[in-house]
Structure formats: C-alpha cells, structure tokens
Amino acid sequence: MNICGIELKSNNAIVSVIQTDDEKANFLNTKVKKIVLEDEENKSSLLKFQDEIDNYLEENKVEKIALKKRAKKGTFAGASVTFKTEGIIQLNTVCDVTFVTSQAISKYTKNNDVDLPNELNKYQEQAYLSSLLLVE
C-alpha cells in the first residue's frame, strides 16, 4: 500500500510517499516534492491545484493520505490559504484522508527508532513522519 504524507505550509502542499509491505515502510523518492497553489483567489489556480493533487495521488498509486493537522489559532496557526488547500486535499477523488497531529508525530518519533531516508529533503520530514503513523 502507498501512503502519502502531506504537510501544508502557506500555499505549498509538501508531499512524501511511502510504500508499505509486511509492516515495513519504504520511502519512494518521487520527482514532485511539493505542489503549489499559485493564486488562492483565482478559480483556475484552485482547479489546477486540485488536478495536480489528484494526478500526483494517481501516479503514485496512493491509497491513504496522512495530512498533518494545522493549528487553527495561536502563534503557529496556519495561514488562511491552508484552509483552501486542506479542503481541496480532503475532496480528492483518489483516496481517504486521515489527520495526524504534531503531538502524535512527536510521540511516534520518541517511541520508535526512525531512520530518515538519505533522499528525503529536510522540508519533507514532517510529511514523511505523518505517513509513518498510518503504517499498520
């Protein structure tokens, strides 16, 4: 099964895909590392972002999405554009979305020995760790 972890930062959806078999996760080094929403006020940009998300999920045979939950208030609250990108991702036509919290990611990394793949970019780390939470 392929699981896509996604972290939203401003108008970027940072993505990371893992492939699981027998409870082992293997990082897939995809060409696309992030998907950008160019103009949040332009309908054609929103539709393009939606198409890019759906195409990415289909091309990588993703069956589940682990979306890192964003803070809704406070110092680390997500930018307003993340509301739109989150909604578009939830409405994808390919697979279901599960939200994961920062606290769950921290707990997982504390309780498990996580080796980050060499090919993983630093900015993809949270997306990668999010996907690991859905490995059964």
Determine the Cα–Cα distance for residues 18 and 44; give it in Å rounded to an integer: 30
pLDDT for position 79: 67
pLDDT at 80 over 90: no
Identify whether the C-beta of residue 117 lies closer than 8 Å to the C-beta of residue 47. no
Residue 36, strand partner residues: 12
Q: Please give the CATH superfamily to which domain 2-132 belongs.
A: Ribonuclease H-like superfamily/Ribonuclease H (3.30.420.10)
- Other beta carbons within 10 angstroms of residue 89's beta carbon come to 22
What mean pLDDT is predicted for residues 58-84? 82
For residue range 89-119, what is the model confidence (pLDDT) as tens digits?
999 988 999 999 999 999 999 999 999 999 9
Determine the Cα–Cα distance for residues 85 and 106; give it in Å rounded to an integer: 24
The pLDDT-based confidence of 81 (bands split at 50, 70, 90) is: confident
What mean pLDDT is predicted for residues 46-51? 97
The domain segmentation of the chain, as residue ranges, is: 2-132
What mean pLDDT is predicted for residues 42-50? 97
